[in-house]
Structure 1
Amino acid sequence: MKLTIVAATGGIGRHLVEQAVAGGHEVTAVARHPRDLPAGVRAVAVDFAQPDMPALASTVRGADAVLSALGPRDPRADVGITSRGTRAIVAAMQAEHVRRIIIVSAAPVGPVPVPGQPTPSKHDPGDGFFMRHLGSRFARTLFGRHYADLAVTEQILRDSGLEWTVSRPPKLTDKPLTRTYRTALNRNIRGGFSVPRADVAHHMLAMVNQPETTKQIVGIAS
């Protein structure tokens, strides 16, 4: 397949590129400063603070899927980059008639809206006692503005008309790939406090060919 990987030099993005290349895919890597990429990868520089739309459109043209690990380097400082960048990616995909997109969000964003239920439940159905009463409150105190931006990002996808999927991991680690992670549709993982970045990348690539994940929020954790 032809895959466009956004934020290709970041923590999850590097794993996406390496695993996609190992899987025999044709990869276009998009990053602010693309470098140190595997041989054969097409690299395109795009600054998502002020995206060059013709350059961005060229990166998704003819792609079978776009996988985005876009996010701020410092969630407490560079707020807004994920929603702004995702809005630009969606516009480029719509212009180029590319349909499939998978992005990374975060488990503490909150309950998933359900059609016919204008006010979602207060707690994510997958969260246990600790996350409901302590963990999520602590996370939102530290990174509340970032999670609010991720919520906006997810809504941009819902409104896009594209074949989207959102991956919501908890705390990310640099442990090696395990392939033994747990997943669930439209809920977090009970007792899932962390997951390796390599596993998130592995699952994102797998979901490209999983139509049941289209237009779904997917929880993932070890």
Structure 2
Amino acid sequence: MYTPRAFALEDLPQLQQLIQHTRLAQLVTVGEQGLQASHLPLLLNPDEGPNGTLYGHMAKANGQWQDLQNGGEALVIFAGADAYVSPAFYPSKAEHGKVVPTWNYLAVHAYGSAEVFTDPERLLRLVSALTDRHEGKRAEPWKVSDAPADYIEGMLKAIVGFALPIERLIGKRKLSQNRNAADIAGVREGLAASADVRDQTLARFISQGASE
């Protein structure tokens, strides 16, 4: 990922926080079938290994797990908040007009080689943890144990789990840091005034960055 120094995010707790706030990741591998990608919800254990370890699963019918089993390096992309930045947001536009559109965004790329597993007990712990994470805020959370045991047993036979210790992380936080203070404020205010909740989310990140 091209990351100019002004946009580099290198603080491990912040990188891990962005990973944990991204609900769906993209797992990219290369193997006999060429490049393959899957969109997967993942769990991060931040305390396992120097950078943390990612856990996930995919359908056994999805041959991408064989790329992982073969030991090749995998790339996991965590795409965070993003927003289009209009030149109209910049006060400097009125001064000299030398402005163009851009895109602000947050992203983390994690690299590593994965261990593949099919042990039913380990898979059950994984799918239970994933379910609990995403059901946790519901008034009446659904649990894996709510389904018939024989049904879950059959479903576990149809998936493959993996653990991916993160060997290196590249983080990018592009929040108009290369602009002057007035332009940054203009971007923040412009995005905050948008009716699009995604723009509003990025505006909050810009506000947080300004307070650091």
Structure 1 or 2: larger strand share? 2
TM-score, scaled to structure 2: 0.21
**Structure label with greater radius of gyration:** 2
